[in-house]
Structure 1
Amino acid sequence: MHSFDMQIAGEPRDGEESSVENPATGETVGTVSIGTRTDAIDAVEAAADAQKKWAESSPNRRERALLTVAERIEANQDELSELLVAETGKCLATAKGEVLETAQQFRFYAGIADKIRGDTVPTPTNRFNYTKRVPYGVTAHIIPWNYPLLLGSRGIAAALVTGNTVIAKPPSQAPLSTMWYGKFLVEEFPAGVVNIVPGSGSEIGATLSDHPSVDAITFTGSTRVGQQVLEAAAANITPVDLELGGKAPAIVLPDTDIENAARGVAQGIFSNAGQNCVATSRALVHEDVKKEFTDLVVEKAERITLGSGFDSATDMGPVISAQAQDDILGYVETAQEEGATLRTGGDIPDNPNLQDGHFVEPTVFDDVTPTMQIACEEIFGPVLSILSVESITEAVEIANNSPYALAASIWTDGLHATRIADLLDHGLVTINTFPVSMPQSPWGGNKESGLGREGGYEGVEAFTTVDSVVIEHDEMEDTF
């Protein structure tokens, strides 16, 4: 069993111990020391003390540190993947992919270290104007539990390479893997550059959000909590980058390979037990192919094997907690009351070997209408709603008629795909694949799905501001 302390100013710090359970079995898999408001304040002060010197470090120094972290993650990928499975319940193959992409993110941003540039601005001949990108300073990173390594490291790597210091708050439900690789960060960077304080959002997250010495905040999580972070940060005019909820539509048109579309939508909603902000939870299917598509998705859902993520036969693991399980089943009940047709799933599996875990069957609803609760709200579980549409125009209208606008997918073999993409008000649109992330690509949502972008070069922009310098070549006129 793993046990981790906080990391503040380059030193471990103990605190009240909190247990972490495996959601597939209910067994305790590790413990962490929980921080208090005082610990969070100490972490901010340590980060502030270290920031100026780190900002003055050479690009080569930053590059080497990020590359070393990537190498250490890769060298420990098996152990780190297993720890991720133990605390989240996700399948081992999914965990391994997350670990490797985390290493790739550090490699990507390491390569950017000597490519962070300003610009020159055309001016009258008596003046010279140039700009420079400079770090915000102290950055707070409030990390989600569904992909703690991938989503946490995206912001941490970008912040560090641009000269910022970091305070990370790992997710309460799944802090262990962040704490594991966080030790690599603490060891490879100067004291105080990286600080890690586990704890509740109401205490650690709130302290970081309203602290006047925190210069930028990144948060991934629910829209409701994101609003609270914004409100707290507003008192100090602190920039905030948010990736929030989603209700990703998948538009399926008659001119696509229906088998391929069914395969992609099923992967998009049932991978990681639907606990993805970009899960393809709404399938907007043209009426001409809806029956064929629905039958194929139901068939695939019924072939999914539930179980421990450590079992190679498992296709889908549990949801994160008993509360999440109850919430998802509540949506299932409401959907049936509102008239949706349950095609498969919708319950706790009857396998006695799974009774100690938080499992929900892969669930497919047909005959869903746009105003039903399951078509409007983020469920964050393995529940697919299938809606019938008569045209592209209707599909786009339904896809956009949502407060969420994080990601969407289009399934078509037609050249009109890019024109449809232009009509969709979503931060990410994919064509003939479910929404995917890559280190080199920007990531973020529109409307209530978030503010700003991380990933790619946009990640550099998320953690820097632009200063302008103007040089006057002529003497000033004597006007007084």
Structure 2
Amino acid sequence: MTQQSLGTQRRTGHINGRAVDTDDSFVVLDPATGRPLADVAACGAEQVDQAVTAARLAYESGWKRTSAAERATMLRKISAAIVANGQELARIESQDTGKPLRQAVVDVNFAARFFEFYSNMVEAVFGSIIPAGTDRVTFSIREPYGVTGHITPWNYPLGLATRTIAPSLAAGNCCVLKPAEEAPLSTLRLAEIMSDAGLPDGVLNVVPGRGPEAGAALAAHPGLGKLSFTGSVPVGIRIGQATAANLVPADLELGGKSPNIVFGDADLAAASKVVAQSILQNAGQTCSAGSRLLVHRSVHQELVERLVRIFADTTLGHGLDDPGLGPVISRKQQQRVLDYIALGRGEGELLVGGGAPGDPALEGGNFILPTIFDGVSSAASIAQQEIFGPVLTVTTFDDTDEAVSLANGTDYGLVAGVWTANVGRAHRLIRDLNCGQVMVNTFSNGVELPFSGRKQSGYGTSKSYEALLGFTQTKGAVIMMSEQ
């Protein structure tokens, strides 16, 4: 291997523009080797309260008075600073999460793009005049919440943090971010980069810590105006209950079991590459991963053969070596995926993969072979439950009605891919699929497209102009006019 270690280091919280250490700490492990990467200060309720207080002070003392143009300029500076430090951030992200370096580069580019996008959008946030009579002026305005909380997961630490803090800052809020304890290093470095770019102290605060301590304290803090959470359904339910106790609104982006639906008229060469990438990207650890393949019976054999070849040829290795597939985040997650694979052996036909690799060079890492199960019933556990690993299930269908029924037949509703040359069919599925995003002849999207969930995939919208509006609250006003 050619990986270069970040080196075991001490990392601290970032509150009010300063490093904040604690007596307690936790160790971040390299998922490709199992060796320590960093020792990180474990913030708790005390540090969370300090961060919220600092954010409130920064908001009241200056940030809420900045003009949209001033915030736009600051966001552009941050975007440029991310680009300037892109190589460093990508290496941190790759080693911290295990993902291939080229995927980490994409994540860094997205992070910069979020700040660029919202710098261009912020001056388009305005209220409206309401025609309510000639003797008065009635209008609405949009205002920030003040302080917003952000709890992010370990699969896309940098991308998912910037996806919510960029629109929140653009709207005029100050932020407190709690990154996942498994992979906090890139967001801690981001806070330093943003501070160096000129972001005022207290506008962004980062409190690394364990979920039951720092995460729970942030979700339950009465000083928040709004909370954004991305993670699992069980934790999302607890987060929603905690924020509801303070009547604090929350955006919850939770799990997914997203289908790629391939019809008989699809371009199979194109579809096979994207279907494979949609589940192998980030080792399948993506809420919107295309973990279910629903394929028309007429092209089933050809498409599956193409996918088996792609999966079998996928290389495994350390993220910094830029393989086709890196490890999953932890030993616990590896065992969870292996348990599902063991269950899948009784629910479908194993075509490729099916366990951990035997390569001695990968010993110590949390690796899973790319795995395909064919002939899987829609009721099977591996077709219903989010595995969060490089495991694809294959189910056939005979007509469009059956395809829609299968696609909608889980508790989730995040994303769906549709592969067809029939434009009418594509429009029908966009209408009939019960999910937040439908992508036709692709499985990728940009910053501009709204991203939201249905059913147990959660609620609230991220990305797009709508996410910016989501970090504002509406106020109505009326002025009576009288002649003097």
Classify the TM-score, shorter chain. over 0.9
RMSD: 1.2
Counterpart secondary structure, 1:288: helix
Tell me, yes or no, if the aligned pair for 2:265 and 2:420 is still in contact at 8 Å. yes
Hey, what does 1:179 align to over in structure 2?
188
Q: Give yes or no for the alignment of 1:342 onto 2:384.
A: no
CA distance in structure 2 between the aligned counterparts of 1:210 and 1:386, rounded to whole angstroms? 41
Hey, what does 1:264 align to over in structure 2?
274
Deviations 1:247-294 (A, max 9, x none): 001110001111211111101011111011111101111111111111
Report how far residue 201 of structure 1 moved: 1.1
CA distance in structure 1 between the aligned counterparts of 2:302 and 2:150, rounded to whole angstroms? 44
Hey, what does 1:390 align to over in structure 2?
398
Amino acid at match of 2:77: T
CA distance in structure 2 between the aligned counterparts of 1:213 and 1:76, rounded to whole angstroms? 33
Hey, what does 1:236 align to over in structure 2?
246
Hey, what does 1:114 align to over in structure 2?
123
> Which of 407, 415, 418 is 1:410 aligned to?
418
CA distance in structure 1 between the aligned counterparts of 2:182 and 2:317, rounded to whole angstroms? 19
Which residues in structure 2 correspond to 1:62-461 (within 5 Å)? 62-187=71-196, 188-312=198-322, 314-338=323-347, 340-415=348-423, 416-434=425-443, 436-461=444-469
CA distance in structure 2 between the aligned counterparts of 1:186 and 1:467, rounded to whole angstroms? 32
Amino acid at match of 2:302: E
Report how far residue 445 of structure 1 moved: 0.8
Report how far residue 137 of structure 1 moved: 1.1
> Which of 8, 11, 29 is 2:15 aligned to?
8
> Which of 432, 442, 462 is 2:470 aligned to?
462
Deviations 1:18-76 (A, max 9, x none): 22111011122223211011111111111111212211112232122211111111111
Amino acid at match of 2:55: A
CA distance in structure 1 between the aligned counterparts of 2:114 and 2:107, rounded to whole angstroms? 10
Amino acid at match of 1:277: C
Tell me, yes or no, if the aligned pair for 1:437 and 1:443 is still in contact at 8 Å. no
Tell me, yes or no, if the aligned pair for 1:290 and 1:388 is still in contact at 8 Å. yes
Tell me, yes or no, if the aligned pair for 2:148 and 2:227 is still in contact at 8 Å. yes
Tell me, yes or no, if the aligned pair for 1:245 and 1:378 is still in contact at 8 Å. yes
CA distance in structure 1 between the aligned counterparts of 2:447 and 2:298, rounded to whole angstroms? 38
Deviations 1:185-209 (A, max 9, x none): 2342222111110001111111111
Counterpart secondary structure, 1:218: strand
Tell me, yes or no, if the aligned pair for 1:55 and 1:162 is still in contact at 8 Å. no
Counterpart secondary structure, 1:23: coil
Counterpart secondary structure, 1:114: helix
Amino acid at match of 1:430: M
CA distance in structure 1 between the aligned counterparts of 2:28 and 2:215, rounded to whole angstroms? 19
CA distance in structure 2 between the aligned counterparts of 1:241 and 1:288, rounded to whole angstroms? 41
> Which of 19, 26, 30 is 1:22 aligned to?
30
Counterpart secondary structure, 1:166: strand
Amino acid at match of 1:373: S
Counterpart secondary structure, 1:356: coil
Tell me, yes or no, if the aligned pair for 1:168 and 1:197 is still in contact at 8 Å. yes
Hey, what does 1:42 align to over in structure 2?
50
TM-score normalised by structure 2 residue count: 0.96
Tell me, yes or no, if the aligned pair for 2:257 and 2:384 is still in contact at 8 Å. yes
Tell me, yes or no, if the aligned pair for 2:125 and 2:469 is still in contact at 8 Å. no
CA distance in structure 1 between the aligned counterparts of 2:162 and 2:406, rounded to whole angstroms? 34
CA distance in structure 2 between the aligned counterparts of 1:185 and 1:234, rounded to whole angstroms? 31
Report how far residue 474 of structure 1 moved: 5.0
CA distance in structure 1 between the aligned counterparts of 2:157 and 2:117, rounded to whole angstroms? 18
Deviations 1:189-237 (A, max 9, x none): 2221111100011111111111111110000000111100000111111
Counterpart secondary structure, 2:275: helix
What is the aligned residue count? 472
Deviations 1:100-122 (A, max 9, x none): 11001111111123221111112
Amino acid at match of 1:165: C
Amino acid at match of 2:169: L
Tell me, yes or no, if the aligned pair for 1:253 and 1:412 is still in contact at 8 Å. yes
CA distance in structure 2 between the aligned counterparts of 1:328 and 1:193, rounded to whole angstroms? 39
Q: Which moved more, 1:27-36 or 1:189-198?
A: 27-36
Q: Which moved more, 1:268-277 or 1:303-312?
A: 303-312
CA distance in structure 2 between the aligned counterparts of 1:437 and 1:151, rounded to whole angstroms? 14
Per the alignment, do residues 371 and 377 of structure 1 end up closer, same or farther by CA in structure 2, a change over 3 Å counting? same
CA distance in structure 2 between the aligned counterparts of 1:267 and 1:316, rounded to whole angstroms? 10
Percentage of pairs with the same residue: 40
Amino acid at match of 1:235: A
Deviations 1:368-406 (A, max 9, x none): 001100000000000000001111110101111211000
Q: Which moved more, 1:303-312 or 1:134-143?
A: 303-312
CA distance in structure 1 between the aligned counterparts of 2:161 and 2:452, rounded to whole angstroms? 14
CA distance in structure 1 between the aligned counterparts of 2:221 and 2:321, rounded to whole angstroms? 44
Counterpart secondary structure, 1:284: strand
Report how far residue 328 of structure 1 moved: 0.5
CA distance in structure 1 between the aligned counterparts of 2:114 and 2:200, rounded to whole angstroms? 20
Counterpart secondary structure, 2:14: strand
CA distance in structure 2 between the aligned counterparts of 1:64 and 1:30, rounded to whole angstroms? 34
In structure 1, the gaps of 5 or more residues are 476-480
Counterpart secondary structure, 1:386: strand
CA distance in structure 1 between the aligned counterparts of 2:51 and 2:147, rounded to whole angstroms? 10
Tell me, yes or no, if the aligned pair for 1:404 and 1:446 is still in contact at 8 Å. yes
CA distance in structure 2 between the aligned counterparts of 1:352 and 1:160, rounded to whole angstroms? 47
Deviations 1:312-350 (A, max 9, x none): 4x1000000111111111111111123x10011011101
Counterpart secondary structure, 2:287: coil
